[in-house]
Structure 1
Amino acid sequence: MLFEIAPLPNLLVLAVPFTIIVFLVRFIRQAAFRKTGPKIPPGPPGSDHAKYLQADRWNVFKAWNEKYVLGTMEGAIDLLEKAGETFSSRPDFVMGEFLFSRLRGFSMVYGQKWRNWRTIHNSHFSAKASPAAKPMQENESAVLIKDLLENKAEDGILDRKHKILRRHMASTMFQMAYGRRVTSMEDPLIMEHDEVEEYIERVPGRFFLESWPQLLWLPWFSWEPERRRDTNTRLYRAVMNDVKKRMEEGTQVPCTTQWALERQKELGFDDLELSYALSSPWAAGIGTVSTAIEIAILAILHYPEAYAKVNEEMDRVVGRDRMPTFADQQSLPYLDAFIKETMRYISLSHMPVK
């Protein structure tokens, strides 16, 4: 009777020894680490590498490349391809097991399945295949400029422009992956996708806050992620099946999903595995590229003199009577350098600077 009305003390009887064991194992591992040192390749000295990047950074990068960093395509192939089972696999990812069942690329174990997953995306997103998407990108860019120019409201303007950028990238990714455009962020598919991705980004903080009342029951940690996984599965299957339907009707435009469905048996993926593999571009590409554009806007605000040079070059090469195209790229060296510098800013934005 005492156990029925007061289960918490009995749970603590198990929890206290378990906690002691965890801390003991951690102490032993730290002691072993201090004795033997880290089992990782050599790297640049210290932990605050940002201080080396304040001046003369290109010489710093050159020196690191020669001594520490893998800087050649041949070396990358040797490590990631020829020794892939050693260097390309993924460690155990407990939350990934519940959320994705290791069906997403970043949580998959290295092997034939992972190589086939990569083959799917190389079919349309590799450097060799991507030029075929240039006309679509030019059209979407024109729509983006139109949306930005027409949105002149002052209240909440930053939030609205952020959504415009996300709609632009969502439409680009969805066309490449599924052969359909996104005309509004109110598209039910986009809203549901964003809800899923925002949840994943807030794990584990939000996950713990939502689940703490279930702590008295051992399987508490799997309930919410598994519910989210069911939502993901339904969403990813729905968009893939929509492509299947259009293929049967003969109305589907070429896209990654059509390519993969036509080779599904050869790839060795069942419907569930394929639906998750095909979700990668929209799961990984929308926020990444829209953030890159926002960083470019931030750079323009901080360096107006660089923006003035970009404008001068654009006016001289393209003029003001048409949109720039990929055909202009070779004639716009300063703009090309500006874009590449923006891409470098993305990585540096995650480094601590004192």
Structure 2
Amino acid sequence: MAKRNLSDWTFSELLRRLAQLLGLVLIAACSEQAVERPEASLRASVHQFSFLAEAPVPALSTIAAVVEERDPGQGDAAMGERVDEARDRLHHSPYVCEQFEMRVRDDGRARHKRLRRSWTETDRQRFRKLVEMVAKEMGADPKLVALWALRESTYNPYAIHVLDPDLEASSQSWRRHRWDPERAEELHAIMAEVGARDPGYWKAKAELSRISRFKDNPYYEDRVSFDVVLPKGERERGETSYWGYGYGPFGFNPTYFLATWDAKAPPWVFCNDDGIAAIVTAVWAARQHQRECASLGFGDSNEVVNRRFSSGHCELRPGRAHLFRKRARARNINPRATAKLGDRWPMDSSDRRAIVEHMRTRAEAEGLLSRHARADAARLRH
């Protein structure tokens, strides 16, 4: 990537970068992590950690120099608003998921090295009980929901999912859902021209719905910064979209699952409060999946709901079905039985803050919150 000169940066760009850098400082202050060895399978080519890249962030000294060159008071209000906005958003929705760095090999290939919070077997079993408690509160089968959390994250609510297929799916979906006002005008024009009896109308309507989903999400352009460790040990800074990863105990791709929780929330919300929002979202999504698959004639069993939840499709996958059946029976789950997902705390009418507070209060009373969740809450109060 070509290096940009100071003169190439507009003042608005510098303000945005300053807000991003401030956000990263706040994120770092909220993290307490221990480094572990990454799994050998966590590999990605170099282009994957820059697939959503923009120009590199200028140094703070560069930003300060440009600001000092301006007339006193010029742009001060705008800068204050941007910085305050970044601070406020990160204060109320702090990033607490795992962080990572990229390790580049001699052949140019790279892999993610996850910088994990300490998470012991005791923590995992406590989290399993938290998943079961939330599922029971919603009327769902706790064993089924816990099975998904075990499979996707080994009971770790702070997991960030960085395997190659996850990265590619998330980055492509981020692009497909990005709001484009010019494209929206084109789609409106197509719909007005052809009318509702034309298949093109519904195709345009579906695309318009997709790109409008996160139109008002204030985090959609937010970017995560990380260290890139070169073969000889040199370190550089890289950045990419937060939306390129899966988050939380179920590895949720944010463009697929975030709107079920809150289309205006940050993508990392699924790690907060020991993943309570993710557990609730898993039950809500499973209820939707059960209705969808039943309406298409595939039934409403545990096996069908699991298939839709994990693959995005109701159709039978013969090569994979035996894996779920084996896991389910080991946990006394009948794959053919109708999935019990309950009807308490319905998705359409439940206040998100109220349900988190309710579940968190129950978790605190039963000793199910981790030290990380308690510490994060204490920092927010102060």
Length-normalised TM-score, structure 2 = 0.27
Q: TM-score, normalised by structure 1?
A: 0.28
Structure showing greater Rg: 1
